[in-house]
Amino acid sequence: MSVWPLASPPLVASSAVISPARSPAQLELCAGFLPLLEHSGLQELFVGFLWATPFQDRPRGCNPPKTCPHPCPEKAFEPYLEILEVYSTKAKNYVNGHCTKYEPWQLIAWSVVWTLLIVWGYEFVFQPESKYAVSSVKTDSSKRFRNEPGCIPVKLSLRIQIQDKLNKTKDDISKNMSFLKVDKEYVKALPSQGLSSSAVLEKLKEYSSMDAFWQEGRASGTVYSGEEKLTELLVKAYGDFAWSNPLHPDIFPGLRKIEAEIVRIACSLFNGGPDSCGCVTSGGTESILMACKAYRDLAFEKGIKTPEIVAPQSAHAAFNKAASYFGMKIVRVPLTKMMEVDVRAMRRAISRNTAMLVCSTPQFPHGVIDPVPEVAKLAVKYKIPLHVDACLGGFLIVFMEKAGYPLEHPFDFRVKGVTSISADTHKYGYAPKGSSLVLYSDKKYRNYQFFVDTDWQGGIYASPTIAGSRPGGISAACWAALMHFGENGYVEATKQIIKTARFLKSDIHFCITLLHARKRVAIQFLKDIRESVTQIMKNPKAKTTGMGAIYGMAQTTVDRNMVAELSSVFLDSLYSTDTVTQGSQMNGSPKPR
């Protein structure tokens, strides 16, 4: 069968073409290929290529024979073009011949249908949430390996062994959780007769006695003050507004005033202008979610179908949660050796789908503040919103300059390009848990955060944040904490915290709070560390248990799907009312499928 299904070119190569003056390598090559070329119709193409290609042993100044149809190198590709033209003509005639039986409207309709199907298929396969995407395939591969016999040829005994090990790990986690070790039975039903106030309080006192010794400062972060007088004030403030709800400002106008004042105070602390604004939320995660929701809707308005969050690898996991909740894509940017976001890498990560940039002040894993001014320049250049996550240290770093510890670079609304900030009042603002803020440089951004339904049968439903009804007592207690401390109180607290933090060794990862600034807490902490290190060195191969096992597992287990599955056991245990015994197995024995 001929190599080319076309007629041979009119010009042929013969032995006369191969001049005796040519090199031995050329003569040998041509002699071997000429028989094949005569049957395939490639004589002309081969000879042209031969003389266009230099040989190492070709004599200097030796020109191709005059009988060669392609004596010049620049004409060596002419045969290819001629062949391409012939093929394209045949393809065109073939298509036209088969389309004669269709009417023009049919051709147009089929073209539209196939185009839409191809576009839909591409978006379906490559969308971030698609199970066919590369990341999803990697995530699901181990689960299929363990659970689907038909997917991968794995022996049944091996699958049972893997599942058995997994269940044993789950049970070990459940048994080693200190908060599950409750001697008394759980209350699983309402009492037939209601308890008196004193009996209820006595029962609650019993529950509070189960708490760890956080009052002694033996916790990283978690409790940021715990001062007795402040606790009494917050309890009283909450009690006065226990039945209030910000969802009904017409019924609780005082609560509306409280939240408006909290937001305005925060805007002033973070150097916002007259157009700056914000909302009270339930925590740092919701504050981050709200900012992402606002920028997602803004991106939708710009015509971006799959908005992207460009954030450092060290940014809070709430940005991943936002991407999961709101159908966004998160692009993680690597860090420098100083554990700051790599600004050059962030610039390369920006695309036409980028909806927002992210910086942390500071980030949780290392306590490092990202270079906000440098990232803000990117935000201004590419006209992209920049969110600064100050949930962890926001109400600490705003007072550091007045406390005598100025930061190297500004991080708030003074920096051109910063469009939003999240900050937790329930951390270094010393408000009770459930209180945070999301702030914007301009109201035009906050409007995208709001949810409004004008067509609900119950009337117009408008909500500024995720929750509808919210506890007004939390906002009242937050306002009370702000008023109680005042600027001088926060500055003094900042001094004590920074002083304590610098007392500890720089290589100890610990979240210093006002609780740790108490007398001898830091000294006792270092003593405990020395004792712990000594105990570890005596038995370095001892297995980690409790919460340490979960944190360590996340770093040592390659299969991220398995890490997520085991972490779900921890979350399930939070709502368990079963008494954990030594012989019990929460997850059952593995069953072959």
Q: 485: pLDDT confidence band, cut at 50, 70 and 90?
A: very high
Q: 518: pLDDT confidence band, cut at 50, 70 and 90?
A: low
Pick 258 or 158 by higher pLDDT: 258
Q: 165: pLDDT confidence band, cut at 50, 70 and 90?
A: confident
Number of other residues whose CB lies within 10 A of the CB of residue 199: 11
Residue 208 has pLDDT above 60, yes or no: yes
Given the candidates 3.30.1360.10, 3.40.640.10, 3.40.50.300, 3.30.565.10, the CATH classification of the domain at 234-485 is 3.40.640.10
Give the pLDDT of residue 121.
Answer: 86
Give the pLDDT of residue 60.
Answer: 47
Pick 43 or 504 by higher pLDDT: 504
Q: CA angle, 148 as apex, 144 and 152 as ends, to 5°?
A: 75
First CA to last CA across the chain, in angstroms? Answer: 54
Those residues whose C-beta lies under 8 Å from the C-beta of residue 379, and which sit 6 or more positions away, are 357, 385, 386, 417, 418, 419
Q: 222: pLDDT confidence band, cut at 50, 70 and 90?
A: confident
Q: 11: pLDDT confidence band, cut at 50, 70 and 90?
A: very low
Residue 378 has pLDDT above 80, yes or no: yes
Ranges of H-type helices in 273-426:
284-301, 318-326, 343-349, 372-382, 394-397
